[in-house]
Amino acid sequence: MRVVSLSWLFLTFVSSLLLQCLGEVEQASSPEVGTRMIRFAGRFLKKSSCKMLNLWLSASILMDLRRKVKGAYVDSLGFDVIDEWGRMIPDPDRWPSSRSGKGFTEVAKKVHGMGLKFGIHVMRGISTQAFNANTPVLDVTTGKAYEESGRQWRAKDIGMKERTCAWMKNGFMSVNTKLGAGRAFLWSLYQQYADWGVDFVKNDCVFGADFDLDEISYVSKVLTELNRPILYSLSPGTSVTPAMARDVSSLVNMYRITGDDWDTWGDVAAHFDISRDFSAANMIGAKGLRGKSWPDLDMLPFGWLTDQGSNEGPHRKCNLNLDEQRSQMTLWSMAKSPLMFGGDMRQLDDATFSLLTNPTLLEINSFSSNNKEACP
């Protein structure tokens, strides 16, 4: 069923090191879960960039694939694809291997065959398009529409129009987890991700200024019961405090604690006090989902970039000078934040490569402990 809004699915490639860090039993138990993540924000790695990819098999490479459709924008309506149960699925025109209900299964197999892991970026609850279409809710225990109290339940029964995503009001809304049908919908989502072979889920518009503890709590419960270990990440980080983080740290593996970070010194400088506060509150490496959890300071906007909100150019170099970039990389490492590279991997210059792979900083990020501000 073809319906509404920008596709917010993205590919995440996470190396075999990540699973080693997660372990079979205690997921995200090592700080290296937060260390070995390098974010590639751009287009799909073309065949010509595979040599570059080989340099990064010991890291995580996240790729953001924002759909470029004429007339579409962040809060537009009418461009996405859902299945008969109201769940977001890949566009078969862009992902031919997803046809016949395969979703991202074949893509995940390809990624796993490269020795990497695979992840997606999803939004809160249920999409507006599913709500408007009033699709039935899947009961994964029967493979049929969810039934309770003698009737079938649908999207309009569980969607909460009064709790839309603040910055995508036309896109997504919370589901009522107090209803069996609401819980069934979320279960069907994450069961689908596990069936696809997903290893990492970034759940957006559920934290910070968009806090939805009910959804976070139930998704965490689902993830503990699925047979496949999935790393669980929360966003956004606007207005997050240590007190708010305490409500979720045991339920997840990582969570944003700031707004979007870009290549201005003002953005970098704003992270010093936040890092200090979360360290003082003993939130770094606190108990998490199947292991530990890590405050996330957002991406490292180094190298070759586009402007915020731009999917494809104009391209430019990072506005931070090298000393400022070193300061940011050092702070992120000392705060033991996940390290997400935000530049174009295909245009990686020697200075940026050297900074991102600095062995001392990676050692600090992976294995240091009890990191605190030395003096006020």
Mean pLDDT of 42-71: 41
Measured CA to CA, the distance from residue 124 to residue 190 in angstroms comes to 12
Q: What is the pLDDT of residue 84?
A: 97
User: Which tokens go with 334?
Assistant: 């000392």
DSSP 82: B
Measured CA to CA, the distance from residue 123 to residue 206 in angstroms comes to 8
DSSP characters over 55-69? TTTTSEEEE------
Measured CA to CA, the distance from residue 355 to residue 330 in angstroms comes to 10
pLDDT band at residue 346 using 50, 70 and 90 as cut-offs: confident
Q: Would residue 357 be called left, alpha or beta, if left means φ above 0 and alpha means ψ between -120 and 50 degrees?
A: alpha
User: Which tokens go with 250?
Assistant: 């045991």
pLDDT in tens, 178-227: 999 999 999 999 999 999 999 999 999 999 999 999 999 999 999 999 99
Q: What is the pLDDT of residue 192?
A: 98
Close Cβ partners of 213 (under 8 Å, ≥ 6 residues apart): 247, 248
Q: Where are the domains of the chain?
A: 11-367
Mean per-residue pLDDT over the chain, rounded? 83
pLDDT band at residue 64 using 50, 70 and 90 as cut-offs: very low
Q: What is the pLDDT of residue 82?
A: 94
Mean pLDDT of 324-332: 98
Pick the CATH number of 11-367 from 3.10.20.30, 3.20.20.70, 3.40.190.10, 3.40.50.150: 3.20.20.70
Q: What is the pLDDT of residue 65?
A: 42
